Structure 1
Amino acid sequence: MHKRIQRDKKAVLAVAVSCMAFGIGGMTQAFAAQGAEERAQKMEADMEVPKDPAQAQGSDAYDLGSTVISADRHKIRNPYTTGGDVNVITRRDIEKHNDSTVQDALQRIPGVRISTPGYRGGEYGFESFNTEFTINGEGSIVVLVDGSRVDNDANAFAGNKSRVNLATLPGIDDVEQIEVIKGSGAAIYGADAAGGVISITTRRGTKEPRTALNLSTGSWGHHRASLTHTGADASGTLRYALSMSREMSGDTAYQDAYTGTSQRFDNTHYQSNNLSFGVSKDFDAQHSLLLRYYHADETAHYPITAPDYRTMGSFYSGTMAPVNAATHRYVGLSSRIPGYRNIFLYDAWLGSHDETRTNNASLRYVFGKTDEGAESFVHLFRNYTRYNMTDYAGIWNVPYPYIGAFWDHAKAYPGQHEDIEQTTGASVQLARRIGRHSLTGGVHFRKSEYEGHSPDGTSDTSRTMLDLYLQDKMRLGDKFVLTPGLVYTHYGSGRYEGTHFASAGKLTGSLYGSYDFDRNSNAYFSAVQIFKPVTGLDRSRQFAGDVLQDETGWSYTVGASRKFTPRDSAEINYGVTDMDNAIGRYSIHDGMQWRRYSVNAKRRKQALNLAYTHHFGKAWSLGTSYSWVHETFSTKRVRRNPDGTNPDDFINAYRPRNIYRTHLTYDRNRWFADLSYTIYSGNDTRFFSDSHFDLLDLSLNYQAGKDWQIYLNGYNLLNTAYETRGLAAYGPGALPEAGRSFMLGAKYTF
């Protein structure tokens, strides 16, 4: 173990040296180009690159559509982070790309991977059949809405508490900005933000009253309508924002990889509604009050998997496995049988679905700010989400020729369960600037509760969490910033379904550094301890011979950025997550029902991000990025499941290893267009239908008048058959993404 850790540290050091060389090389090039300074200044003036309105005047910033990169590293946007790979999605980006959801906006960011089963719905507690988003391949992500965490410590929608149901987030019409921090970011975010932080800031209102009506329609009966109103009182110090939206879609279609035909994806229709309201009061430059509330509800159907059309003959003939002549049910039906997933057609035909209802509120009082924007505040919040699931697994192993005798009973008596998550929390933070030291410390407390109801009975549990954090952002000269941090985390004890889980606490450390070679070149690093305790949910699913341990490990990040010319900039980021102990989660069917298991495992993840942007002139720009992730998950003690399968096949997340993205953007006068070309490669063909996938998407926006905006979005224009997730149990092509589709809309502002 010691030798391996030493090798890891040497590898990180080697990458750090390489990044330093990258920055020094760029600095040398800058010196060599010193004689061309006047030409560069003229070229920059000729470009007239649009600036992000959120940046202060004089900031040297580029608005790259989905990503804002600032070449002025001394202009600190997030006062808590130290260097790092940070992307900001502004309101302007959202409107130009006509995003319908937060997910739409996030998936353009290099290193962010949205992995879906091909549909919106999903069953509570099952990781495999819900949307997952990762940063640099890491799923331990802290998601904040106006500073409030939206996860739950007592239980977990998708098995892992860091995985947040996107349906519980505010509607995109209420989003002002999304900040994506790759890596832990800062001590204030806690000891479990190994992958990074997604911080959503909602809208605050406008000085003048403004109302926007947005209507769109498209493929598969996809319709969306939203209404937003913002304004302020006469003094401009009391502002408000109100938004509401409804989105619905019929069953989607996908391109089947093996038949080459377009197939309807049965039972993928949905309807979602969002309502948000916020009011803020600025008493003076140092004191303000913000009250926020948002409601989200969604009814989304899910088919579990797509059928395998190559083996439909055995499904319809009832010959997938031996049949018990007395019960008319299969005997020995398992995922190892070809075409096994076709049995899930019953769920699709009967209409398995979930209903999600979210009501979240927060109150934040700021009583001080440093000159960098770090806040002293008191923050209160309350999150509530209820899930109602309906599935039809009772006829799971009935051969198709006998299904008529079971159908009416299955329809009348579905499997139903209700899951309720609630979290109440409070935070107090103090921030002070003392000379070269920017000190931020605070305490965060939250109590998470879970209650579940099913035909098997009722279960409930709760858990408290206390975070004490302190960090010192030290300026060691004009170029170097070093930020050490400490976090003490304590989780309370409790019970879950008769299983006791003990309290857990740990003091973890972090270190962040950033060095400016010059105004245009920067390198950074971080080393952060990770701590996540065993949840009651996981404890109840452990094997007797594999008592679960807390998740512990380290996360390392190094990177550099360089603005070569007024037209060209590049970034590199490399990260390693090394978990001494991680928890793997998976589900198997024991012949009677689904069983979920949690096991101790070792996990190692490496990730690399490269990004380059070139501006051709006043209107055209080209952005390219490459993301690579390699992850290995291996159990420590459990080598064989009760059904004979290998647990390593289930706990490993099979995703495309490489993602190449290119954005060709035109932005001038009334027109905006973004043509995006994405390549997913390095796919393991044991789990994916092809080793690589090619996607082409288009966002087109025309400002028809002062108040009118017309837009068109085209998705998967090549109609590629592809998946963003593979499951060992069900074979390639089980979770296909949607085929070619379009959305046409108009927005009127008055």
Structure 2
Amino acid sequence: MNKRQKKILCTLIGSAFILSMAEAAAQEQEYNLDEYVVTANRIPLKQAETAASVKVITRDEIEKSGYTRVPEILEKAGLSIFDSGSAGYSQSSVFINGDDRVLVLVDGRKINKENDLGGGKMKLNLNLLPSVKSIERIEIVRGPASSLYGSDAAGGVINIITRKATANETALEMQGGNWGMRNYSLRTEGRENGFGYFITAERRELDHFEYKDARTGQVKRMPNSAVDEDAISVRLDKELSEGRSLSLYLEYINSKKGYFLAPPGYPYHFPTSYEVNRNNTADLTYRWKNRTGADGYFKVYYSSDLREIPNYMEGYPSAVDKWSVTSRTTGTDWQDNWRITDRYDLVGGVSWRQVNVDIPKGGIFNKKIENSALFLENRWRLPADWTLTAGMRHDDYNLFGGQSTVRLTANRKINNDTNIFASWGQVFRTPNIEQLYSTGVPRGNPNLRPETGDTVMIGVNTKLAGNTKLQASIFSSRLDDAIVRVSTNVVGVPYSFDNVSKQKRQGLNLDLTRQLSPLWNISAGYAYVQVQQKVQGAANYTDDPENNQPNGYRFSADYSGGKWDAGLTLRGATGLSRAAFTTSSYWVVDLSAKYKISPDLIASFKVYNLANTAYEVRGVTAPNPIGFYPMAARHFYLGLERRM
């Protein structure tokens, strides 16, 4: 972070502290940051009372913007996503504060896996997330949350909250576009006598996708990039007496798509290989109200995941006839909160989770990771609208023993429009099954240690003149025993895993939104991230050339009025290393529009990558050639939705 960037943020935060000293003269506004968020503290709190940088995407925003997939929503929210627009090809990397160790929740249930289902450090396939039709809101929390949520929450947390029925309605939608894109969706909901159902069914088809070659400027077809996917979700809700309720969420996804998709001429180019994913989930949750007005709950869940790749790594010496990964996850969560005094609350809970994994060709048979955890967080409301929290989580893993992580936060609500906060939290992240036990490529290492570290964050949320809202934060994180792939110099086993590096991250995030008029809203964001690492035995830290957002920019303008909803989004990055990326900067423009032909008939149109930019969001270094992961070229779709 350079001196100018530090000066800007220090001025913003310093101004907020000055405002706090003049609180007696501050006038509380009727419209402010009083939007409740759940994820940051596991209980509903107004944003001005939350010691975190939180971004909320509402159902209204989702519907107006015409999103077709969750990665698009996260991308517009300012996160760096390794994705390919509507093409549906994703390597499942989401970066928060420069870190892709990100925890993803659905209704508070962890969906990251303890095995590598093609999901990198997230251990998650972004294509296997709930339909956007079934989402009520998404909450994004920057910074570590291991003390509340456990392993994987190093960079931040994304909580997808599903919809429950609020009306009696059915909607059908059809979409078509470039590259043989065909999407069909059904949404139906109903509510009567305290019982509600919300059902979605989708089918997605794509013949292939295309990318622009940064070296030649030519648009090329990616071989074997077809997508064929079916997804069904069902949510049933029953209201019981005295504020109690019961919810059942069921989901089934069956997906077939091309495997890996490296361009022709690159290593690991498999022109005929494909992968199949089948996922089943059941989640039963019982909720009750208590003295604090927040929900306590008890949840039980089960999921099974199958990933098969026929002709795995075809043409390579390590090729096998079929690579398959089967995992079964069973878990329970209990959480409640207590008002001890008028100024002291306590939130706590216990959880148990067991994952069994089979990878026959990797030499893994019924390997198990089991964890029991207890967490408690104390929250004190002090004079002058200060709030302090102190929380601790203790995890007991069958493979790694016990580990405790701590989080401390301080928040000052200056008025209904402004709060300042500081937080410190520890990081704890365990190796996954493949990293420990695989006999394939890369080779596992049963002696791996969990990654540990901590993060400090300071920030301000405020409302400026002219209906302009600002979120600003700076962060610094440290990670020890980082798990990386290392060369083995062993014939047939080129890579293995080891705890060989230390990593440091620091940066800032700025997010501005302004309501220009009842019809127009604009937002802009800037993110600076410096990622450094030091391998074992090295004297100094060096910059990570694969840092995909040294400087990230985002701008959007949205119009909503009459029969029209329309939006423009500009996103870009500068300062990329030419040792890992084909260009040092890129800019991408997306357009969307929806038109209400009648109250029950809506047409939609969206263009991705309007300028046909050649770029990558994931970099690679030698010995692999740069340009390994090209993003999708310009493409569009047209849609028509009928509501009944």
TM-score (norm 2): 0.89
Q: Secondary structure at the match of 2:617?
A: coil
Give the CA deviation at 1:594: 5.6
Q: Which runs of 5+ in 2 are unaligned?
A: 1-5
Give the CA deviation at 1:586: 5.9
Cα distance in 1, alignment partners of residues 351 and 111 from structure 2: 14
Q: Choose from 344, 347, 358 the match for 2:279.
A: 358
Partner residue of 2:195? 238
Residues 80 and 599 (structure 1), Cα distance of their counterparts in 2 relative to 1, 3 Å cut: farther
1:189 is the counterpart of 2:149 = yes
Partner residue of 1:735? 629
Q: Within 5 Å, give how 1:329-348 maps onto structure 2.
A: 341=266, 344-345=268-269, 347-348=270-271
Give the CA deviation at 1:257: 1.3
Partner residue of 1:146? 107
**Matched-pair contact (CA < 8 Å) for 1:600–1:636:** yes
Partner residue of 1:597? 497
1:386 is the counterpart of 2:287 = no
Q: Choose from 354, 360, 384 the match for 1:447.
A: 354
Give the CA deviation at 1:686: 1.8
Q: Which whole-Å deviations, capped at 9, do the CAs of 1:51-91 have from their partners, x for residues lacking one?
A: xxxxxxx764699xxxx999xxxx95479983311111122
**Matched-pair contact (CA < 8 Å) for 2:616–2:631:** yes
Partner residue of 1:44? none
Partner residue of 1:491? 397
Letter paired with 2:217: G
**Matched-pair contact (CA < 8 Å) for 2:205–2:226:** yes
Partner residue of 2:159? 199
Q: Which whole-Å deviations, capped at 9, do the CAs of 1:113-144 have from their partners, x for residues lacking one?
A: 1124899788xxxxxx9221121112222211
The share of aligned pairs that are identical, in percent, is: 26
Residues 453 and 471 (structure 1), Cα distance of their counterparts in 2 relative to 1, 3 Å cut: same
Residues 392 and 471 (structure 1), Cα distance of their counterparts in 2 relative to 1, 3 Å cut: closer
Q: Which whole-Å deviations, capped at 9, do the CAs of 1:380-431 have from their partners, x for residues lacking one?
A: 011111000124535248xxxxxxxxxxxx9xx9631110111101112221
Give the CA deviation at 1:614: 2.2
Q: Which whole-Å deviations, capped at 9, do the CAs of 1:484-519 have from their partners, x for residues lacking one?
A: 0011111003xxxxxxxxx32112211112112222
Partner residue of 1:224? 183
Give the CA deviation at 1:30: 10
Partner residue of 1:550? 450
Residues 549 and 62 (structure 1), Cα distance of their counterparts in 2 relative to 1, 3 Å cut: closer
Cα distance in 1, alignment partners of residues 310 and 288 from structure 2: 47
Partner residue of 2:174? 215
Q: Secondary structure at the match of 1:93?
A: helix
Q: Which whole-Å deviations, capped at 9, do the CAs of 1:552-604 have from their partners, x for residues lacking one?
A: 11111111011012421211111222013221236789664664433331011
**Matched-pair contact (CA < 8 Å) for 1:713–1:744:** yes
Q: Which runs of 5+ in 1 are unaligned?
A: 1-12, 42-57, 123-128, 309-340, 398-409, 494-502, 640-647
Q: Choose from 460, 476, 479 the match for 2:382.
A: 476
Partner residue of 2:51? 83
Letter paired with 1:378: F
Cα distance in 2, alignment partners of residues 575 and 710 from structure 1: 43
Partner residue of 1:634? 534
1:395 is the counterpart of 2:315 = yes
Partner residue of 2:205? 248
Q: Choose from 137, 140, 148 the match for 1:177.
A: 137
Cα distance in 2, alignment partners of residues 695 and 275 from structure 1: 32
Partner residue of 1:115? 82
1:690 is the counterpart of 2:597 = no
Cα distance in 2, alignment partners of residues 670 and 136 from structure 1: 38
Partner residue of 2:125? 165
Cα distance in 2, alignment partners of residues 633 and 594 from structure 1: 22
Residues 301 and 736 (structure 1), Cα distance of their counterparts in 2 relative to 1, 3 Å cut: same
RMSD: 3.4
Give the CA deviation at 1:15: 10
Residues 77 and 98 (structure 1), Cα distance of their counterparts in 2 relative to 1, 3 Å cut: farther
Cα distance in 1, alignment partners of residues 308 and 48 from structure 2: 39
Q: Choose from 280, 293, 313 the match for 2:250.
A: 293
Q: Choose from 273, 291, 296 the match for 1:376.
A: 296
Residues 156 and 261 (structure 1), Cα distance of their counterparts in 2 relative to 1, 3 Å cut: closer
Letter paired with 2:531: E
Letter paired with 2:16: G
Cα distance in 2, alignment partners of residues 524 and 621 from structure 1: 27
Q: Secondary structure at the match of 2:598?
A: coil
Partner residue of 1:257? 214
1:105 is the counterpart of 2:73 = yes
Give the CA deviation at 1:162: 3.6
Letter paired with 1:449: N
**Matched-pair contact (CA < 8 Å) for 1:121–1:353:** no
Partner residue of 2:238? 281
Q: Which whole-Å deviations, capped at 9, do the CAs of 1:248-297 have from their partners, x for residues lacking one?
A: 11211112111121111111111111100111111135211111110112
Q: Which whole-Å deviations, capped at 9, do the CAs of 1:424-466 have from their partners, x for residues lacking one?
A: 0111222112311121111111111101122x65533001101
Q: Which whole-Å deviations, capped at 9, do the CAs of 1:224-251 have from their partners, x for residues lacking one?
A: 1100100112x2x111111100111121
Give the CA deviation at 1:656: 3.3
Q: Which whole-Å deviations, capped at 9, do the CAs of 1:135-166 have from their partners, x for residues lacking one?
A: 1112222211122111233x332475643111
1:133 is the counterpart of 2:101 = no
Cα distance in 2, alignment partners of residues 514 and 157 from structure 1: 38
Q: Choose from 339, 353, 358 the match for 1:433.
A: 339
**Matched-pair contact (CA < 8 Å) for 1:539–1:598:** no
1:622 is the counterpart of 2:522 = yes
Q: How many residues align?
A: 629
Q: Secondary structure at the match of 1:538?
A: helix
Partner residue of 1:710? 603
**Matched-pair contact (CA < 8 Å) for 2:222–2:261:** no
Letter paired with 2:80: R
Q: Choose from 17, 23, 32 the match for 2:16.
A: 23
Give the CA deviation at 1:635: 2.3
> Could you say which structure has the larger radius of gyration?
1
Letter paired with 1:489: D
Residues 546 and 458 (structure 1), Cα distance of their counterparts in 2 relative to 1, 3 Å cut: closer
Cα distance in 2, alignment partners of residues 505 and 548 from structure 1: 15
**Matched-pair contact (CA < 8 Å) for 1:543–1:598:** no
**Matched-pair contact (CA < 8 Å) for 2:56–2:138:** yes
**Matched-pair contact (CA < 8 Å) for 1:213–1:749:** yes
Instruction: Point out the structure with the larger helix share.
Output: 1
**Matched-pair contact (CA < 8 Å) for 2:480–2:502:** yes
**Matched-pair contact (CA < 8 Å) for 1:82–1:483:** no
Partner residue of 2:371? 465
Residues 243 and 620 (structure 1), Cα distance of their counterparts in 2 relative to 1, 3 Å cut: same
Letter paired with 2:337: A
**Matched-pair contact (CA < 8 Å) for 2:608–2:635:** yes
TM-score (norm 1): 0.77
Residues 545 and 571 (structure 1), Cα distance of their counterparts in 2 relative to 1, 3 Å cut: closer
Residues 596 and 191 (structure 1), Cα distance of their counterparts in 2 relative to 1, 3 Å cut: closer
Q: Choose from 426, 433, 443 the match for 1:529.
A: 426
Cα distance in 1, alignment partners of residues 109 and 503 from structure 2: 29
Cα distance in 1, alignment partners of residues 120 and 222 from structure 2: 27
Cα distance in 2, alignment partners of residues 191 and 176 from structure 1: 26
